[in-house]
Chain A
């Protein structure tokens, strides 16, 4: 009933978009300093672990982890460890007052393993002690009897790539009766006909690795016991409301007994979604059971072994096209390794499936994606969320196809890309309202990079150092689509002195998302950003804004901000009109100045308007709530409208490969993105650079390796390589603004897209440089060297 009319909040967002169309902005898209810049630059911002200095009688929680990646637990004896001087308590599964589960999407992950262990990071007991040293020493007094089981580290031991049928194997989740977590499909058009009519077909098997987030701040939580069995937890998380839910569940208390506070966060990239629940729950348990503040901080090694990774993918792809390059069909079997627990594994493969054909018009498609359990470290959310993996496969295929057709890779892409009026592979018609700037992005990247001449030139090179240039394009569905309830909210409070408090449950973990929201509020209210104070997310004070994931902070939080700011502005205009005597619509606010547009001599100041509002009884607090239009998805055919809109991008990368050592150096990356409206210019540029550098690591060096027993071979930063300042190439950001009318001032999301296609553009450039196709990431010197050797090139 009430769903039948368009909600007011949707109307406001569109109204504000139309109102600002063509207007000069004061803060949006301008160089504006971040509110936390000075505090952070002085080292004064407090991150979770820093709060320890305020708690002198805190106890430490040490996680005792399993010896085996797959085993049944026969017995656990903690009696000796419990008596060790300085140990306050040893917590095992049976001590958990609530439900022993921290599974993020489905309840498949015990906080403390009871019956069996499924990966090398599984926890069998928690030692709570006076200090860390004592806790570690007591570990040797815990006796666990295991019955080791077959360890499965290869997802193809669970399913066959070509049939996708589950193979007989020792079940990891025997309680489920199957180790296939999910199966997603896309079915479109007449595949047989398309294949019959095709002039060319190309196929390949593509592999991408486990990638570690390696956020610089390892996981941490400090819990303080509160009245009524409750607890306050300071937590390094992206999603305070999810942490609250997890902690309440483990403690067996209502949500309102648990308070989660998020101070400065040292990076997240998707990784601080679910592990934060585990870490906070560990601290909370210890605090409640001992009655003292409790600290749980992961070492770097624990962080690498014990939190989610980017899903590895193995995919078979076949593309079919006409002689002129028209894409007729795409077929794919995609296997994703979700590791030991589901984490966000039910959603990541969905996003991969939706994006599995790339941003192209495709007449016929058959996509099947399965995510399977193994005994590897579990996989979950990581910037891009399944999309970078399929982009690698699709964009390698497009290059193979171009080669087969004797076409330029850019020409082939231009022939098939999505434009306004086209239908996506899911049958979603893209309109002007969505904002579709892919063609413009591609053309701009190509032009800026001088693509055509370099593409011809580089191929002619001889000698040990070869240059290559590669392109990759993508689209990225905004926010969470059909994965969950897609809402967001903010609270704006204008205080009596004219300063403004900004509250949201969305977290800022480095890339400046909350800052973008402040700029939106500042623009609409007509108040400089320096008037604002962004409060820390706090489940007892800030409204639930949904998780800070899926590039949704700007689009979703931004829309909520537009609504709150717009309503406040309306009221302020009326008060000012009351003071100045001109029409509310005529009021100009450029705080501290407030005047009549038609007669600027009639003026007052911001403070006065605020003060008058108090006297007149006009409330200056506003809550903005926004819910995304519902996404549509048919489980059997993959048809519908999976996302509200899409961000588009085109990357051109230039590399130099040493043909004698296989070492690749990235020289330059052109990143052209259509993000609707650039709200936070500084943040967007930084994100473009940061995403590109992280993706460079994905393309060339990053790979978490398990041995056959499921142990992580490179669990620290000297063996798991991430890019350093020496690897950072020149990065040229290019912006395209195809406005999304239902977004805040036309904006689309950009958190993840900055990562998406960069590794693949690099891979395509490497392939161009060495004259060989590549099928696997990362392109380490060893891998390239072996390829060259096999091809007889060295």
Chain B
């Protein structure tokens, strides 16, 4: 009989602490568990999407200690002690961030599955480059696949968001957009 190892028995849970969207969270995880699963299933942060599980699509991007990472390639234990931002934490209650407003303004939305990753990546770009060129936007979002093909709108939206941000408009009232 083939000797099979039962990972869930062999490896006990580890407790990790992360600062998620500004709040400290303690979670028990398996040493082999991926950050994406912990965020989605244990913490309910389902804006984080799994499109490939191999670092190829960008749908699962979150910002970890100010760096965008594909959460499908990060072991949860590696996130211990780190600060993580997901789309849920991008804007205060009732508000949306400039990049979200811009994406709505240019009507970029199709199925929306790629959006969380695109938004986090754009936010990271704008944090570090307040006035990116079209080239720079395309370079930054090259790892975020959008099969519905909203790419041209992403370029427009990031430009528009950078304008909003430079004008000091970081957040917008959600109700303003809902009109």
Contact = CB atoms under 8 A, between A and B. Distances in A.
A-side interface size class: 35 or more
A511 B109 CA distance: 9
B51 A218 contact: yes
Nearest to A84: B4
Given A50-B46, A300-B53, A717-B56, A267 B104 contact: no
Interface in B7-60: 7-9, 32, 40-41, 44, 46-54, 56-57, 59
A510 B110 contact: yes
A692 interface: yes
Nearest to B54: A716
B58 to A, nearest CB: 9
B53 A53 contact: no
Contacts of A140: 2, 4
Interface in B119-152: 119, 137-139, 141-152
Describe B's contact surface by its main secondary structure: loop
Contact of B178 (A217, A530, A690): A530
A728 B41 contact: no
Contacts of B137: 725
B129 to A, nearest CB: 16
A694 B148 CA distance: 8
A105 interface: no
B104 A85 contact: no
B116 A216 contact: no
A49 B44 contact: no
Nearest to A508: B111
B112 A510 contact: yes
A44 B48 CA distance: 10
B174 interface: yes
Contact of B52 (A49, A50, A716, A724): A716
Interface in A78-112: 80, 84-86
Interface stretch (A131-139, A336-344, A438-446, A656-664): A131-139
Contact of A41 (B7, B96, B139, B154): B96
A77 to B, nearest CB: 12
Contacts of B4: 84, 137-138, 140-141
A724 B56 CA distance: 11
B114 interface: yes
A730 B151 CA distance: 10
A510 B114 CA distance: 11
A50 to B, nearest CB: 4
Contacts of B52: 300, 716-717
A216 B138 contact: no
A618 interface: no
Contact of B100 (A41, A510, A685, A694): A41
Given A134-B6, A686-B110, 19 more contacts: A33-B104, A38-B178, A42-B87, A80-B1, A80-B2, A84-B6, A133-B7, A141-B4, A216-B145, A216-B148, A217-B111, A266-B112, A510-B112, A511-B148, A690-B110, A691-B149, A723-B149, A725-B141, A725-B155
Interface of A: 31, 33-34, 36-38, 40-47, 49-50, 52-53, 80, 84-86, 131, 133-134, 137-138, 140-141, 213-218, 264-267, 269, 299-300, 509-512, 530, 682, 685-686, 689-694, 716-718, 722-726, 728, 730-731
Can you list the 4 inter-chain pairs with the closest CB atoms, starting with the nearest?
A43-B47, A510-B111, A266-B113, A690-B149
